[in-house]
Amino acid sequence: MMDNKPFETPVVVELGHVGKYRHIRSTQEAAECLMTVWPLNRGPRHRDALDTCLKVLEGYRSTAEARRALIEAARESEVLVPDDRLSDDRLH
């Protein structure tokens, strides 16, 4: 069984529908999200984040690097949810 490389703190993004938040809790989940459900407005930070996640899963980079790269990709695609917008009843 592969270690999914959990993040110290989840990254919250808004994907698909306004107000539908997703907690990304690990490098494995980040890579899957970046490959399958990420918005079409992808830029260079998306590719960097995916590459970083894959390197983490192979044991070459740290989970902190994957988390930082995911945050940058989420900012670039305008799907990052700032901490001040979070409330427990809206997280999925």
The structural domains of the chain, with segments of one domain joined by +, span: 6-80
- pLDDT at 57 > cutoff 70: yes
Residue 89 pLDDT more than 60?
Answer: no
Q: Give the residue-averaged pLDDT of 10-23.
A: 89
- Provide, rounded to the nearest whole percent, the portion of the chain with pLDDT above 70: 89
Give just the sign of the alpha carbon dihedral 24, 26, 28, 31.
positive
Alpha-carbon distance of 59 to 45, in angstroms, equals: 21
Chain CA centroid to CA 66, Å: 8
pLDDT confidence bin for 62, thresholds 50/70/90:
very high
Is the distance from CB of 86 to CB of 21 less than 8 angstroms?
yes
